[in-house]
Amino acid sequence: MTASLRSAAEAPRSTQPLRGQQQAADINRRQRLSGAASPPAGDTCTEPATATCEVVQCPSTPVRYFSPPPCAFLRPGQVFAGRQRVAHSSHSPAPKQENWSVSATITQYDPASGYVAGCMEASHVPDMPSPVTTFFEGEIIDNQHNTFFTADWEACPGTDILHWRKFEPFRELYAEVVRHHGRCPSLASHPYVYMRWKEQFFVQGSECHLTIQGFYYLCMNRVTGAMTGFYFDPSSSPDQKLEMSAVRAGLAGFAFPHYELA
């Protein structure tokens, strides 16, 4: 979530897509996974793609794209806590910066389909007396269901590469990702997990002035659970960084709850 550039009255309360939009997004995803070299249909991004992103060479030999293995820190019940830095209008003479306390709790993780979901809570949001909670759904970049190219939510390969490159560990994958149209053969043995989290609706605090139009690009250390994210919303503050670490539930160690849906 982020501070909205619009008034609270204009801010959308939910980003639940209409059926047609959902279908378009699904088509985009399928095209994205089909390895199409051009930006997916319906992409409304106006941001210029980087030169390397435009020139996409097809690998000459067939490549097998493996998914990353399941990650312990994405299991249901895992809590992350940290802060989100929100910098308003970096072009203004006196840019204003806010730091919100943010936590996220994973409620569902399905590595087989590259899906993760949970709730995010932001506290110490200016003008909000109580925390704001949203429900998010995440795509895990797994080479199978989700690639590094987003293809919807108003992001295009140029936007994607721009954000992914902000993560230091991504730099060693960068050339491969471009060469393989968003997939990455080395991903399965890479020590970081890459995700996109898209907030879907407000669970609490829907009257706030925040918007959930955009989404997070995230990179998580598989061993420590430390996570960094960058928020992308073409209509909102450009500089927003999320930093969270895995909270261990135990007093002196890690504790893991679990549920099984019937």
Partner 1 sequence: MAEVARQQLVDRLQSDDSASRLQALRCIKNCVIGNRRQKQHYIHLDAVKLLVAVLASPTADAAQLVQAAAAVGSFAASKEGLLSVIHHRGLLHLLKVLQSSEDVKVVEAAVRAVKSVCRTADEPILDVLSPPSLGVLPRLVSLLASPTSNVAESSAAVLACCCDRGREQQNAVAVAGAVQPLVALLASQQHSKQEAALAALAALSSGNAATSEDILEHASVLSSLLGAIKRGRSPHTRFVAAVCLVNLSQHIPALGQEELSTPQGLQQAVLPVLVQLLDADMAENVPGALCQLVEHSAELQLAAADADAVAKLCAILRQQWRAPPVVEGALRCLAALCSKREEQRRQVVDARVLPVVVAALSHQSLPMRAAACMCMRSLSRSTKLLRGHLGDVQLAAPLLALVDEGDTEVAAQAMGTLTNLAVDFSAVKEQLLAHDGVARFAALADSMQPVLRLHGVWGLSSVAYMAAPEVKQSIAHHLPWSSVVALLEDSEPEVREKVMLLLRNMLHSERNIEAVLTWSCNALLEAARDVLQRSEGQAAAELKHHALYVVVNMASSTAAHKEAVMQSGWPPLLVQQLRDENEQVREAAVWAIINLTWSRDGDAEETAVRVQQLRLLGVEEELRRLEQDECIAVKERASTALDQLRALEGGGDDDVAMEAVV
The set of residues, in sequence order, having a beta carbon less than 8 Å from that of 213 and lying 6+ positions away, is 12, 15, 233, 235, 236
Residue 65 sits in the site that holds partner 1 (CB under 8 A): no
Instruction: Report the C-alpha gap between 131 and 9 in whole angstroms.
Output: 19
Beta strands in 67-205 (DSSP E): 79-88, 96-110, 115-123, 132-140, 192-204
| Contact between 34 and partner 1 per CB under 8 A | no
By the rule CB under 8 A, 137 interacts with partner 1: yes
Q: Considering only 41-49, 83-91, 152-160, 248-256, which stretch makes contact with partner 1 by CB under 8 A?
A: 248-256
Q: By CB under 8 A, which span of 43-51, 71-79, 145-153, 157-165 interacts with partner 1?
A: 71-79
- Which position has the token pair 């389909």? 113
E strand or H helix that includes residue 177: helix 174-179
C-beta of 223: minimal distance to partner 1 in Å? Answer: 5
Q: How far is the CB of 251 from partner 1 (least distance, A)?
A: 4
CB of 117 to partner 1, least distance (A): 5
The strand pair at 192-204 and 210-211 is best described as unpaired
List 67, 101, 108, 144, residue binding partner 1 (CB under 8 A): 108
Q: How far apart are CA 189 and CA 207, in angstroms?
A: 43
Length of the chain as a residue count:
262
Q: Helix, strand, coil % (nearest 5) of the chain?
A: 20, 30, 50
Measuring CA to CA, which residue among 75, 98, 96 is closest to residue 85?
Answer: 98
152 close to 160: Cβ distance less than 8 angstroms:
no
Within 177-196, which residues bind partner 1 (CB under 8 A)?
Answer: 188-189, 191
* Binder among 10, 16, 96, 235 for partner 1 (CB under 8 A): 16
Could you tell me the smallest distance in angstroms from the CB atom of residue 188 to partner 1?
8
Assess 37 for contact with partner 1 (CB under 8 A): no
Among 5, 67, 203, 241, binds partner 1 (CB under 8 A): 203
Between 86 and 187, CB nearer to partner 1: 187
Scan for tokens 């089909």, then name that residue. 34
Interaction of residue 112 with partner 1, rule CB under 8 A: no
Q: Does 9 bind partner 1 (CB under 8 A)?
A: no
Residue given tokens 């109580």 in the structure block:
130
Reduced to 3 states (helix: H, G, I; strand: E, B; else coil), residue 46 is: coil
**DSSP code, position 28:** H
Integer Rg of the chain from CA: 18
User: What is the smallest separation between the CB atom of 46 and partner 1, expressed in angstroms?
Assistant: 29
Residue of 77, 169, 234, 238 that binds partner 1 (CB under 8 A): 77
User: Considering the rule CB under 8 A, would residue 128 count as an interface residue with partner 1?
Assistant: no
Q: Which residues bind partner 1 (CB under 8 A)?
A: 16, 19, 22, 26, 68-72, 76-77, 105, 107-108, 115, 117, 119, 135, 137, 188-189, 191, 200-201, 203, 222-225, 248-262
